[in-house]
Amino acid sequence: MLTNASLNRPVSEDIEPADAADLSLLPTNERFMAAAVMSAMSGVNLKEGGPFGASIVRDGVLICSAHNTFFADCDPTCHAEVMTITQPRVVLLYVAADECCPLGYASSRDVIYSSFEPCPMCWSAIVSSGMKLLYIGLDRFTAAKNGVDYLSFYDAILPHTKRSNSPPMTCVNPPSSYEDERIISMLTSPDHCIIVNKDNDIIANSDSSAIDDFTTDPVDTPMVRTIRLACRYLKSPYLHGCRIYTLVEPDIESHAACLWACAESLYYSTEAPPGSSARYQRDQYTMEESERDLRVVHNCAMDICLKIIPLWYESELHKENPQLKAC
């Protein structure tokens, strides 16, 4: 039985995108993408998250696949690409195969396959992990045309490429109200983050600057840690009505995590300085795709990836949350 190794959960055997004979006839890249789609289908059937899957391949060998567990873990950062990168079995393999490769990080030999174009958070996670090649099944525009619309998240990161009605969160720089300035004054370091609910109660307060050097999580930033604390406190992947405060403009992983958590607003005092990882990510993301460090191959096994969309809309999870377009 297949498992989503990061969670050691059984994968449903009820849904298969193709039988073994069909998969054996596919070109190699399409087989790797099919593995990502199979994981995504399992995640939807198990009501763990949205219709997203990813696979990692090293030297032509499929290492692992994983899917979105947004709802199962009540964590807005548990996207397919992040879950794939952080699987324990992957970490063990990296340590055994590349002692010089930091624990939990991929190498330039690794290739990632994603059934949908990665959101800004996942794109940054892939870049941070060290991988240099990404295969995409459906780009964000094709996904939106087929009802899986997360264009507004790109708008919030790249305001000059507006394609949707409005960004899902307000960014305020610098804070102007007395209450906002009061909370900002409580921050003691660039890594300090505070989250406040609609009643102005602090629900998460973390100065987790000492990120473990051997973390297995490429999005384990101080702000993401604080968001996860708040979500655990609320027992929900959403931070509706909450405000997030930090001193310095966050990197893309952290910014996008705020968006996926549906926070009301993000406040920071200064822009990310030149030479910082946050500035590098933002500079990379504003480049033309052909100029970025991460090479992208589009439209891989599109017909296979499209199969997940009707399954998503027919799923119990979507019926219980009809307002959801993507997560």
pLDDT > 60? residue 12: no
Same domain, residue pair 295 and 276 = no
Structural domain includes residue 222: yes
Amino acid at site 215: T
CB 323 within 8 A of CB 238: no
Same domain, residue pair 88 and 189 = no
Same domain, residue pair 191 and 204 = yes
pLDDT 10s digits, 225-275: 999 999 999 999 999 999 999 999 999 989 999 999 999 999 998 888 888
Query: Residue 242: its pLDDT value, please?
Result: 96
Structural domain includes residue 247: yes
Order of strands across the sheet that contains 295-297: 61-67, 53-58, 110-116, 133-138, 295-297
Domain count, the chain: 2
* 264 among known catalytic residues: no
pLDDT > 60? residue 124: yes
Same domain, residue pair 41 and 142 = yes
Same domain, residue pair 189 and 298 = no
pLDDT 10s digits, 271-289: 888 888 888 888 888 888 8
pLDDT > 90? residue 149: no
Buried b (16+ CB within 10 A) or exposed e, 237-254: bbbeebbbbbbbbbbbbb
Structural domain includes residue 157: no
pLDDT > 90? residue 80: yes
CB 89 within 8 A of CB 228: no
DSSP H helix total and E strand total for the chain: 14, 12
Q: Which of 30, 48, 81, 117 is catalytic?
A: 81
Higher-scoring residue by pLDDT: 212, 297: 297
Structural domain includes residue 158: no
Same domain, residue pair 58 and 114 = yes
Q: Please report how the helices 120-129 and 252-260 are oriented relative to each other, as an axis angle in degrees rounded to 10.
A: 150
User: At 202, which CATH number?
Assistant: 3.40.140.10
Same domain, residue pair 178 and 235 = yes
Same domain, residue pair 91 and 140 = yes
Print the domain residue range for 102.
Answer: 25-150+287-320
pLDDT > 90? residue 218: no
How many angstroms separate the CA atoms of 113 and 93, rounded?
18
What percent of the chain shows pLDDT beyond 90? 48
pLDDT > 80? residue 21: no
Structural domain includes residue 108: yes
Same domain, residue pair 294 and 146 = yes
Structural domain includes residue 308: yes
Structural domain includes residue 156: no
How many angstroms separate the CA atoms of 244 and 254, rounded?
11
Same domain, residue pair 303 and 275 = no
pLDDT > 60? residue 112: yes
DSSP letter for each residue of 298-317: --TTHHHHHTHHHHHHHSHH
Q: Report pTM.
A: 0.84
Query: Residue 10: its pLDDT value, please?
Result: 39
Amino acid at site 55: S
Candidate from 115-124, 146-155, 178-187, 295-304 with smallest mean pLDDT: 146-155
Same domain, residue pair 176 and 276 = yes
Structural domain includes residue 106: yes
Same domain, residue pair 132 and 68 = yes
| Alpha helical stretches, state H, the chain | 20-24, 28-45, 80-85, 88-97, 120-129, 140-145, 151-157, 178-184, 222-234, 252-260, 277-286, 302-306, 308-314, 316-320
Output the six-digit token pair for 181: 């300035």
pLDDT > 70? residue 49: yes
* N-to-C CA span, the chain: 26
